[in-house]
Amino acid sequence: MKIVRTEDGSLTLFSEKFNEPYHSLTAGAFKEAVEKFCKPCKVEEKAKKGKLNLFDVCFGLGYNTVAFLETAFSSNPKVKVSVVGFEFDLGVIEKSLELSWGNYEKWKKIIRVALKNKRCENIFLTINYFSPQIKLKIYIGEGREVIKRIHRKYKQFADAIFHDPFSPRVNPELWTFEFFQKLRSIIKRDGILATYSAASPVRKALWMAGFGVKEGVAVGRKSRSTVASPLFKTEEKLLEKFLASTKSTPYRDPNLQDSPELIMSRRRGCVWLQEKALPIAPIY
Ligand SMILES: C[S@@+](CC[C@H](N)C(=O)[O-])C[C@H]1O[C@@H](n2cnc3c(N)ncnc32)[C@H](O)[C@@H]1O
């Protein structure tokens, strides 16, 4: 894994496997964590209520979670937080501790303790940190396998979901309608999901899964982003796009187990069917 410097001076890694950086190089790693995840999910405001739960999709270097902790505790030093997430590469969490985290350095001790406190839960390895104010549990495993096995346990758990896989082009398995359905079951009714993608297949999949969908802020990486919540009303202009264009055809993975290649080719097939074979009837 190559270390790269991002626009705000913070360091991130580059994944050879996915051929993408772990964070936006143009926005800056920690800046993106704050601007695209913490702010849209209203972490500062919600922390004032005293209790806050985060579900972190793709823990990676842990920057999003760390920015969440910093934001929540700066807002309310008495807040109690619970963070649950998954990541299939334990190596990247360990590697992250070798990088400088700048102003966020003080949070490294939590990840260090978590890495020492390994458990086996529901067939998965987990890393854990427990204190009176902070509970952190990261499942080490393939995201879909994890969510299939834990979604009932975390029904309506999340005040915030940070959804941060690599891009849909290379990591489509975590951007499907079926995966978002599982996230829908673990979010509270007034919870907010933030993701950096503004792609219409992603937005339509969120909408089909029961989220209201809105335009998010523009910071680095892709120009815009997306926020979604069971409570939001989907913006009219987005709805029109979903219904009018085959470009919004979502990624599908009926049993949450198909390969990225199959998910991509299934979508291409669906678009072809809609455009060439059944131009009138919309197919989801
Ligand atoms: C863009 S990085 C996430 C960065 C992270 N949110 C942070 O703040 O440092 C995407 C992460 O998703 C993980 N990942 C990709 N596909 C996965 C899958 N199917 N299951 C579990 N983790 C996955 C990668 O190992 C990588 O760490």
pLDDT band (50, 70, 90) for residue 279 = low
Looking up residue 233, the CATH number of its domain turns out to be: 3.40.50.150
Give the pLDDT of residue 278: 67
Q: Is 158 inside a domain boundary?
A: yes
Share of the chain above pLDDT 70, in %: 96
Give the pLDDT of residue 75: 98
Give the residue-averaged pLDDT of 222-242: 89
63 CB less than 6 Å from ligand 1?
yes
14 CB less than 6 Å from ligand 1?
no
Cα of 166 vs centre of ligand 1, distance in Å, is 6
Give the residue, 69 or 6, on which the prediction is more confident.
Answer: 69
Rg (CA), the chain: 18
Of all protein residues, the one whose alpha carbon is nearest to atom 4 of ligand 1 is: 60
Residue of 282, 207, 198 whose CA lies nearest to 243 = 282
Question: How many separate domains does the chain show?
Answer: 1
Cα of 275 vs centre of ligand 1, distance in Å, is 34
171 CB less than 6 Å from ligand 1?
yes
92 CB less than 6 Å from ligand 1?
yes
pLDDT, tens only, 190-204: 999 999 999 999 999
Domain housing 142: 27-243
Give the pLDDT of residue 222: 52
62 CB less than 6 Å from ligand 1?
yes
Cα of 55 vs centre of ligand 1, distance in Å, is 13
3-state secondary structure of 270: helix
Q: Is 14 inside a domain boundary?
A: no
Q: Is 42 inside a domain boundary?
A: yes
Q: Is 153 inside a domain boundary?
A: yes
Q: Are 79 and 73 in contact (CB under 8 A)?
A: yes
Q: Is 176 inside a domain boundary?
A: yes
Q: Amino acid identity, residue 166?
A: F
Q: Are 157 and 84 in contact (CB under 8 A)?
A: yes
64 CB less than 6 Å from ligand 1?
yes
Q: Is 270 inside a domain boundary?
A: no
196 CB less than 6 Å from ligand 1?
no
pLDDT, tens only, 94-147: 999 999 999 999 999 999 999 999 999 989 999 999 999 999 999 999 999 999
pLDDT band (50, 70, 90) for residue 1 = confident
Strands 158-163 and 51-57: parallel
Q: Is 75 inside a domain boundary?
A: yes
Q: Is 267 inside a domain boundary?
A: no
pLDDT band (50, 70, 90) for residue 223 = low
pLDDT band (50, 70, 90) for residue 281 = low
